[in-house]
Amino acid sequence: MNKTELIEAIASAAGLSKADAGKALNATTDAITGAMAKGDGVQITGFGSFITRARAARSGRNPQTGATIQIKASTVAAFKAGKALKEAVNK
């Protein structure tokens, strides 16, 4: 499912126009992105949690040359599925 299909599904399920459903989806993703950018997590009960994780610096290899390179530490986005989502997927 892509973003357009998701907007259509939201519009159909909530009885909204596609424009309103698109605005709602954009507002939701913007709010989640903003919270995660500040280092906060977002928990949606029954669905899951959007969190950030620290990834340590590490050594890697350049696939073209085989040379060892240093990869900087970074913060990455992660999603942890909630119990209800796991159960729905595993039916």
Domain boundaries, the chain: 3-89
Q: Using one digit for the tens of pLDDT, what is the confidence trace for 13-47? A: 999 999 999 999 999 999 999 999 999 999 999 99
Domain 3-89: what homologous superfamily? IHF-like DNA-binding proteins (4.10.520.10)
Q: With bands split at pLDDT 50, 70 and 90, how would you rate the model's confidence at 65?
A: very high
Rounded Cα–Cα distance for residues 38 and 26 (Å): 18
For the entire predicted model, the pTM comes to 0.80
CA–CA separation, 38 and 40 (whole Å): 6
Burial label, 24 (beta-carbon count in 10 A; 0-12, 13-18, 19+): middle
Cβ atoms within 10 A of the Cβ of 21, count?
Answer: 20
What average pLDDT does range 57-67 have in this prediction?
94
